[in-house]
Structure 1
Amino acid sequence: MTLAVRPSWSLFLPGAALFAAIYGPVLFAPPGYAPATRDSDFYMYYFPMTEAAFEMLRGGHMPLWNPYIDSGLPFLASIELGILYPPNWLHLVLPAERAFCVLYVLHVLLAAGGTWFYARGRGRSPGAALFSAQAFAFAAPTILHHDMGMTSVVYSSAWFPLIFAIVDRCLRLRTAGSACVLAVVLACQFLAGFPMFSLLLAALIPAYLAVFGIDWRRPMCRANGGTILLFGTAAILALGLVAPQLLATWEYAENSQRGDLGYEQSTHCCFPAPNLMTLVVPEFFGNDQGCQYWGEAYLFDANAFCGTTTVFLALLAVMFWRNREVLFWSAVGAVILAFALGKYSWFYDLCYVLVPGVNRFRGVSRLVIFVVFGLAVLAGIGLDGLLAGNHLKGRRRLSWAVGVPAAGIAVWAGCLLAAGSNAPSAWQSVFEWVRGPGAELPLQIPAHLASRFLQISFVTLLKSLSVSGAALLGASLLIGGGVFTLRDQRWRVLGLVTLLAAELYWFDARHVVLMETEPWRLIARRIQSVLADDQGLYRVAAYGHTPPLPLNRFLYGRLQDVGGHENFVPYRYSLFLDFWLGIEPQWQTYLTVPNSNRIYDLLNVKYFVTFPENGTWGVRDELVREWAFQHQGRNHSLYRNGTALPRVSLIHAAHRAMDLKSAFHLLEPLREGGTVDIETVIEGDPGISLEPVSDAARRDEHVTVVEYSAQRIVVDAHCRGPGLLLYSENYFPGWEARVDGQEAPVLPANVFMRAVPVTAGDHRVEMSYRPAPYRIGCWLAAAALVIILLQFTRLCRRSYRIRVIRRSLPSEQQ
C-alpha cells in the first residue's frame, strides 16, 4: 500500500501551527513558571523532589537518600523521578521550571518524530505518517498527563514509537550496531520512570517479533535463531544499562509498604467503561474548565480523545484493509483497552488472578496512551488505503452512514445551544446512571447546586457534540470521494491533517497551562525566615488541616518532615505509624502525622504548624510565631516542641527483641507511657552489655553531630558507660556504621529507627548509606556501556575504512 507521493511542505503547516500554538508559550515561558495545573502531583511531588535531587547532584553527591520526607527514605530508588534518565540532566544546567518546560517540548517532538519514523519505515506515505504523528503526540491522554505534571508518564510514553521504529530497523539490518541502538533506547524508556509501560513493552516486543520477525514456515531456520539472538542481546544490554536503577528500585519495593495491592487499590483509577464515549465526544463528562469533570476517576485518567478523524480513518483500516499490520494493532489495542478498563472488564479480573505482578500496580488507565498509539497507526494505514482508491463503494457507504448523522447531530446541538434549551430528563438519567452507586467520583456536587450543574454539563455536551459532528462531517466529505488525482490526494490529505489539527487544538489549548511556582515555595520560605537562627538538626510537621496544607510543602525549603507524598514508604516506618497512630498503609502514600507530643518527641519534631485557635499540646510547647503564614485564607501558627529528642541520642537501657513481631510487643509499654528518651527496643545482638549509668554520669555525657548530609552522618560521642547511639532516622538496608574506623553493626531500634552500639569513652561514629544493589548495578551498567562503546567504535572504524577505500578508487569505479 506504499504510495509514491512526494512530501509537500504544506502538509507540515497544520502540525507546525498546532505545535506553535500549544507549546510555544511553554517553550518561551517566563522565569518562575512551570507547565502544569495548580494543585497537581507536579507541585507536590515531581517538581520539589526533582529540584532537591539535582541540587544534590550539582553539589557532587549522588542523591541516594532523601532526608526531607517521611523521616528519610531512598531517593534514587524512587524511579518516577528519573534521576538517571539522561534528558533529565538538563536540570543540572537550567532552573527547574525552565528544564521542565524544555523537557516537555522535547518529548512531544520525540513522540511525533518517533511516530513519523515508524510509519515511514512501515511504508506509509508522508501524509499518512504525518497524520499518525499528529494524532499520537497531541492526543488527550498525553496532554492531560502533561497538564497534571506527571512527567514519568509523559516522558516514558514518548519513546513508544521510536522503539518500534528501531525494532523494524533491527529486523531489516540484523546487525550488532542496530541491537546496541535498540538497547540504549529501551534503557532510556525505562529510566524515564514509569515501569508499567516498560513491562508492557517487554510483552509487546516479543509479540511484534512473532508477527513480523519470525518466519513460521521454517521455524527452525538460522534466520529465526539470529533474530532471537539479536533481540536477546539487546534486551540483556538494556538490562545492564538500567541495572543501577532497576536493582535499587527493586530493593526499595521489597522493603516498602507498597507490595501487593488489593483488588480495590489495583483498580483505582482504571478507565471507566462509559468514558469510551470520549473517543468521539471528548467533553461528554466535562472539561475541568467551564464545566468540572463529573464522571468516574479523574479527567486525566479517563479521556481517550485523539480526534474523531483519527477514529474514522482507523475504522476504515479495520473494515477494508485487514492485512497483518492492521490485525496486529487492532488486537493489541483491544487487549490493552480490555486490561485498562480494570474492574469493568473480566479480562483484567482474569489477569489479576493468574498473572504474577498485576497486583503490584494501579492506575492502569494510563495504558490507554498505548491504545491511542495503535489508533494513530491504524489511521495512517486507513489514510493510505483511502488514497489508493480501494473499496470505493464501501467507503462511500460508510461516509454517508457517518456523515449524515454527524451533520444532523451538529445542527441539532447548534440549534439547542442557540435556543438556550434546558437539560432534558434523558440527560439527567444519563447523569445519574454515570454517577450511580459504587462509582468512584472525585467531584461531589452539593444538592443545592445540582440543577445548575446539570445545565452547565448539558451545555458543555452540546458544544462538544457540535464540534465532533462538524469534524466527522468534514472527514466524511473528504473521505467519500472517488479515485483521486495526485493533486486531489495532496489537497485531501492536507484537508484531513488540518481538520485533525483543528480538533486537537480545540481540546488541547485549554489544558496546556503555565503556573507560577512561587506560591508553592511560600510556606517553606516563611518557616525558614522564622527559624533562620536555629541551625540545629530538627524536623517540622503539620497535620492535615481544613483546608489541607500541600504535601511536601517543606521540601521547597529543604526542611525535613515526618510526612510527605511518596509512592513507597519504608516498610518499618509504615508498620510503626500503623501500630502507634493507626495510620493504615493504604493512606500513607499521602502522609501527614497527627499532632501528638509523644510521637513528635520520638521523631525529632522540634517545630509544628497548626491553627492559632488550636493552641499547644504539651506542657513545654511554646508559640514561636502566631501568624507564620496564610494558606487559602487561614492563618497558621508555628510552635516549638520543648520535649523533642535530639536527632542522635545516647541510650543505656534496651529491651532486646528476637524479631519484628516481638519488637512490637516490647514497644507497647513505651507507647502507653514509657520513657522513650532513656530506653529503647532493639532487634539483634548489640555485642556489648548495656548497663544503666547514674544521673550525674548522664549529665556528663554528650553527643555532637559534627557532620550531617543526606548520605553521611558523623557523630562525636562521650559515653560514661556502654550504650546505644539512637538515630531518629529510618532504618533501611544499606546503612553502614564505623566506630573509630572499625565496622560496627546498625541495628533496628523502636521498629524503624537505627542504633549503633558503643563502649564507654570518646568515640567518633560515622554512618553512611552505601546500598549494595546500586553498587552492583553500577558495575553491570559499566560493563554494558563498555560493550556498546566498543561496538560503536568498531562501526566507526569500519565506516572510516570504507570511505578511504572509496576515495582511492577511480571515479568510474565508485
Structure 2
Amino acid sequence: MKKSNLIIVVIAFVIGIAIFWKSYIFGLIPFPGDYLLSWYEPWKTYFTANGVPILPHKAILDDVFRQLYQYKIITAESMRNGHLPLWNPYNGSGMPLMAVMHAGFFTPLVGLFVALPGWLAWTIYIVIQPIFLSIGMLWYGRKIGLSWVASIFASIVYATSGFITVRYLFGEYVYIAACLPILLGIIETYRENKKTKSIWSIPLIILFMIVSGQPQMILYVLIVFVAYALFRLKETKKSYVAIGVLCLTGFLLSAIQLVPTIELYIQANMVPSSSFFVTEKFLLPVFQLVSIIIPNYFGNSATYNYWGVGDYAETAASVGSVALLFSGFSLLSGKKNEIRTFFLMVAGLTVLLVVRSPLTEWLYRLPIAIISTGVPTRIFFLTTFSVCILSGLGLDYYLRNVRMHLGRIWMGLVLFAILTCAFVGWLYVGTKGQMPAVRNSLFEAGLLLFAILVLLYLRNSKSKKYVYPLILFIIIVQFAVGLYNSTKFLPFSSRTTIFPNTQIIDQLRSIASFDRVMGLGSAVVQPNIATGLHIYDPNYYDPLYIKRYGELIAYANLGSVPDVLPRSDVVINNDVLPKQDVNQRRERLFQLLSVRYLLFHTEDNNFSIQENIQALPRVYLVKNYEKISEDNELLNRLFDPLFDPTTSVLVEQDIPLTKTVDRTKNEKAKITSYKPNHAEIQVSAVSPAILVFTDTYYRGWKAYVDGMDTPIYRVNYSLRAIIVSQGNHVVQFIYEPLSITTGTYISLISGLFYISFLIYTFRKKPVH
C-alpha cells in the first residue's frame, strides 16, 4: 500500500472510532433500543411506571427497529436457509421484501448478518460507515489538489455534519454518500491518465449504491456525477460515451434489484398525491437555513426540544460557521477554478430547491418518480458535500495567503463575531439559558470568534512557525464540536434491548401459530414490530406497499376508498370502542384476514389476550363464489353483513367451478410448512372446492397441486385462492416472480460481458 493511501486509512479510522467511541470503549450498540422498550409494545408495559418510561432514552430513529434492523435479520435468515429474501410473511398479510429496495438487501455487507449474531453484525455495519466516508473524502480531496490539512478538515466537517450524523443509524444513506467522492475522484484520475484502470470500477460502484438502497440518494449522486463528468471532461468529449456506457453497465448489473423494485412500484401506492404532505412539511422557510450555520439552532429531537419546521432528522444540515468561513475564503481567489465553480453552483442550486417558493412547490408536484415522492430536504446532502469541498479549497487558499490584506473585512468579521457573542450572551442571561436557539447561537458565535481571532493573529504574526499548529488546533476544536453534536444525537443501547423476549411475546408465539395477532387501544403493537418477533400482524409500514391491500384496509376503516391513500402506513383502526359501523367492518376484516388473537390492556396495566372465534383459518375450503368485477361493488358486498365469507368468496373473473353451498365436516385444509417464500398445505376435499389462502395476492406467487401448476385467483379483493379437485392433495404456494428471474438473467449476462471485456481490455490494449 502506498504511504499516502495508508495515511488516508489511518486518518479515516481515527475519525470513525471517535464518532462511535461508545461502541469501541463500552461495547454499546448503535441502536435506539431504550426507545424501543420505553414507547413500543409489547415492551412498554414492562418498562414504564405509571405511564412514565423508566429507561433514559432518545426518542428518535424508530425506523431503525421498525424496518431496517429487522429487514437485515430476516434477510440473513433467508440466505442461511439458501433462499433470497423475497417476501415478508409477518406484516401486512404478506408483502414483498427485497423489492422495497431501500434497506439494502444485496449489499455485500449483508454477509456480516449471515455470519455473525445480529447485534454484532449491526454494530459493525454502522460503525464502519464514517471510515468509508472519510476514505472517499480524503482521497478525493487529494485528487483535486487539496493539502493534507485541508483534506482532513473537509473530511471531518463531512463526517460530523448534521445531514450525515442523523443518518448514521439508518445505514442506507451514508454508504451511498461515501460513493460520491469516490466517483468524482475517478473522474479526476481519468483526466490525469486516460489509461487508468480505475474508470472500470464505475459500474461496480453504481451496483453497490443500488443494492445498498435509498433511491433518492442514488439519484442525487448520479446527477452530480454525470454533471461533474460533463464539466470536467468537456475537452475530451469522446469520454462522454465511455462514461455513459459504464453507467448503463452499472444499471444492468443491478437489474436483480431494479426489476423487482420497478414491478412493485407499478403496483404500489407510491404516487405524488400521497406525498403532497411531505412537500408541504419539508419545503423550508428561508429562516430555517440558519441551521446550516448553527447546529441545533432549532433544538434537537434527541433532547426533546426541537421547535423548527418539519422533522429534525430530515432538516439537519449543519456544517458550522467555521466551515462556512473557510468556504468564503475560497471565493477570494481571482484564479479560475472549475471545481470551485462547480460546487458553488451545486450548493446554491440545492439550497434554492429546499426553500419554499412557487417554483419548488410546482416542481415537487410534477409526476417525476423519486423526486415527487421523496423528501425535498434530503438534497441537503449535496449542499453539505459542496460546502465541505469549498471549505477545503478556502483553507488551502488561506494557508497560501496567511498575511492576505482584506482591509476592513477582517475588522468587520471580528466586530460581527463580538457583537453577536455580546447580543446572544445578553439573551442567554435574560432567558437563564433555557432557549436552545440562544444557547447554541452563543456557542457557535464563540467558536467563530475564536477562529477569526486565531486567523487574525496569524496574519499579524512575524513568524510562520505557528501557522500549522494553530490551524490544526482549529481543526481539532471543529472536530470536538462535531463529536459533541453527534454524541448528543446518536443513541446507543445495550444489546439486551434488541427485541428481548417477554412473557406476552412467548405466550403469543405459543398459541398463535400461523394465526394473526393485533393489539387494540394502548396495547397496539406498531406496524412491522411483529416482523422482529416472528408473529403475524395485518398492519404494515413502508412507502412501497401493495396498493390493493391498502385499499382493503382503508375501506374497512372509512367505509370507502379515499382518493389518496396513506403514504406508508397500512393500519387497521385500533380503537377499543370504535363507532358501530367501523366496528362492523373491522370485525369482518379480522375475519377475512385470520386475525384470531386480540391484545388488550387490563385495568391493572397487564396484557389480556382474547380469541376472535369468528376469524377464518389461514387456509380453508368453500364451494360457492360470486363474481363481481367492479371494485367498489366488490368491497360493498365483501363488507355486507349478509355476505357469508365462511361459505363463499368474491372473485373478479370466471373460475372453473360449479357453485354449491354444500358443507362437509370431513373436508380440511391445514398448513404443514410456512416459510417466507414457500407454503405447503394438505387438503382433503370430498368434491371440487376453492382453497382460500388469507395472504396477500401478488404477481409472482405460483401454486402447485400435487406438483402440477394451477392458476391463482384474486379473491375477497386482495387475497389468494386456487381450485382443488376432489381427493387428498398437497398444495404448494411458491414465490417465483418473473421479475426476479428476469433481473437475475440480466445481471448475470451483463456481468459476464463486463468481466470478459475487462479481461480482454487489460490483456490486449490500453484503455482509451
TM-score (norm 1): 0.82
User: 8 Å contact 1:569–1:588 — kept in the other structure?
Assistant: no
Match of 1:690 in 2: 658
Match of 1:647 in 2: 618
- Is residue 2:482 matched to residue 1:504? yes
User: 8 Å contact 2:619–2:691 — kept in the other structure?
Assistant: yes
Q: Given residue 214 of structure 1, which amino acid in structure 2 is its aligned partner?
A: K
Could you tell which deviates more after superposition, 591-600 or 237-246? 591-600
Match of 1:125 among 147, 154, 167: 147
Match of 1:265 in 2: 278
Deviations 1:508-556 (A, max 9, x none): 221223023544624x64334214543742111113x348644322222
Match of 1:624 in 2: none
Match of 1:306 among 315, 319, 341: 319
- Is residue 2:507 matched to residue 1:530? yes
- Structure 2: distance between partners of 1:744 and 1:648: 17
Could you tell which deviates more after superposition, 242-251 or 788-797? 788-797
User: 8 Å contact 2:522–2:601 — kept in the other structure?
Assistant: no
Secondary structure of 2:626's counterpart equals: strand
Match of 1:240 in 2: 252
- Structure 2: distance between partners of 1:302 and 1:638: 41
Could you tell which deviates more after superposition, 347-356 or 726-735? 347-356
- Structure 1: distance between partners of 2:153 and 2:97: 40
Q: CA deviation at 1:496?
A: 3.1
Q: Given residue 513 of structure 1, which amino acid in structure 2 is its aligned partner?
A: P
Match of 2:67 among 28, 41, 45: 45
Secondary structure of 1:61's counterpart equals: coil
Match of 1:604 in 2: 594
TM-score (norm 2): 0.87
- Structure 2: distance between partners of 1:328 and 1:171: 16
Secondary structure of 1:515's counterpart equals: coil
Match of 1:67 in 2: 89
User: 8 Å contact 1:279–1:311 — kept in the other structure?
Assistant: no
Secondary structure of 2:589's counterpart equals: helix
Deviations 1:394-445 (A, max 9, x none): 3x5433222222123334544664xx4237xxxxxxxxxxxxxxxxxxxxxx
User: 8 Å contact 2:269–2:544 — kept in the other structure?
Assistant: yes
Secondary structure of 1:706's counterpart equals: strand
**Unaligned runs of at least 5 residues, structure 2:** 34-57, 575-585
- Is residue 2:731 matched to residue 1:731? no
- Is residue 2:375 matched to residue 1:370? no
Secondary structure of 2:91's counterpart equals: coil
Change (3 A) 1:577 1:772: same
Change (3 A) 1:92 1:31: farther
- Structure 2: distance between partners of 1:10 and 1:726: 63
Change (3 A) 1:32 1:463: closer
1:181-580 → structure 2 map (5 Å cutoff):
181-215=201-235, 223-225=236-238, 227-261=239-273, 262-288=275-301, 292-321=305-334, 323-341=337-355, 344-352=356-364, 356-357=368-369, 360-389=372-401, 392-394=404-406, 397-414=408-425, 417=428, 420-422=429-431, 456-457=434-435, 460-480=436-456, 481-482=458-459, 487-516=465-494, 518-519=496-497, 521-522=499-500, 525-531=502-508, 533-534=510-511, 536-543=513-520, 545-546=521-522, 549-580=525-556
1:637-716 → structure 2 map (5 Å cutoff):
637-658=608-629, 660=631, 663-664=634-635, 666-667=637-638, 670-686=639-655, 688-695=656-663, 698-716=664-682
Q: Given residue 717 of structure 1, which amino acid in structure 2 is its aligned partner?
A: V
Match of 1:435 in 2: none
- Structure 2: distance between partners of 1:15 and 1:176: 25
Q: CA deviation at 1:292?
A: 1.0
Deviations 1:305-330 (A, max 9, x none): 11211011111213445622212111
- Structure 1: distance between partners of 2:628 and 2:155: 61
Identity rate of aligned residues, in percent? 19
Match of 1:749 in 2: 715
Deviations 1:46-65 (A, max 9, x none): 12222122122122221101
Q: Given residue 728 of structure 1, which amino acid in structure 2 is its aligned partner?
A: T
User: 8 Å contact 1:720–1:761 — kept in the other structure?
Assistant: yes
Q: CA deviation at 1:75?
A: 0.6
Q: Given residue 79 of structure 1, which amino acid in structure 2 is its aligned partner?
A: M
Q: CA deviation at 1:797?
A: 5.8
Q: CA deviation at 1:371?
A: 0.6
Change (3 A) 1:16 1:761: closer
- Structure 1: distance between partners of 2:196 and 2:397: 35
Q: CA deviation at 1:97?
A: 2.2
Secondary structure of 1:199's counterpart equals: helix
Q: Given residue 258 of structure 1, which amino acid in structure 2 is its aligned partner?
A: M
Q: Given residue 65 of structure 1, which amino acid in structure 2 is its aligned partner?
A: W
Q: Given residue 594 of structure 1, which amino acid in structure 2 is its aligned partner?
A: N
- Structure 1: distance between partners of 2:12 and 2:728: 71
1:738-777 → structure 2 map (5 Å cutoff):
738-777=704-743
Q: Given residue 77 of structure 1, which amino acid in structure 2 is its aligned partner?
A: A
Q: CA deviation at 1:18?
A: 5.7
Match of 1:443 in 2: none
**Unaligned runs of at least 5 residues, structure 1:** 1-5, 216-222, 424-454, 614-626, 628-633, 802-814
How many residues of Structure 1 are paired with residues of Structure 2 in the alignment?
721
Deviations 1:671-702 (A, max 9, x none): 3342111111112232x23231533xx21211
Q: Given residue 610 of structure 1, which amino acid in structure 2 is its aligned partner?
A: F
User: 8 Å contact 1:406–1:470 — kept in the other structure?
Assistant: yes
Q: CA deviation at 1:95?
A: 2.2
Match of 2:580 in 1: none
Change (3 A) 1:13 1:164: closer
Secondary structure of 1:714's counterpart equals: strand
- Structure 2: distance between partners of 1:9 and 1:391: 33
Provide the alpha-carbon RMSD of the alignment.
3.0
- Structure 2: distance between partners of 1:718 and 1:13: 66
- Structure 2: distance between partners of 1:415 and 1:398: 25
User: 8 Å contact 1:269–1:362 — kept in the other structure?
Assistant: no
User: 8 Å contact 1:163–1:186 — kept in the other structure?
Assistant: no
Q: CA deviation at 1:17?
A: 6.3
Q: CA deviation at 1:725?
A: 0.9
Q: Given residue 474 of structure 2, which amino acid in structure 1 is its aligned partner?
A: L
Secondary structure of 2:746's counterpart equals: helix
Secondary structure of 1:521's counterpart equals: coil
Q: CA deviation at 1:174?
A: 3.4
- Structure 2: distance between partners of 1:130 and 1:468: 21
- Structure 2: distance between partners of 1:108 and 1:160: 14
User: 8 Å contact 2:340–2:390 — kept in the other structure?
Assistant: yes
- Is residue 2:171 matched to residue 1:162? no
User: 8 Å contact 2:550–2:565 — kept in the other structure?
Assistant: no
- Structure 1: distance between partners of 2:8 and 2:466: 13
Q: Given residue 501 of structure 1, which amino acid in structure 2 is its aligned partner?
A: F
Deviations 1:5-55 (A, max 9, x none): x99999999987664443122245537663675552212221222212212
User: 8 Å contact 2:104–2:213 — kept in the other structure?
Assistant: yes
Q: CA deviation at 1:665?
A: 5.1
Match of 2:755 in 1: 789
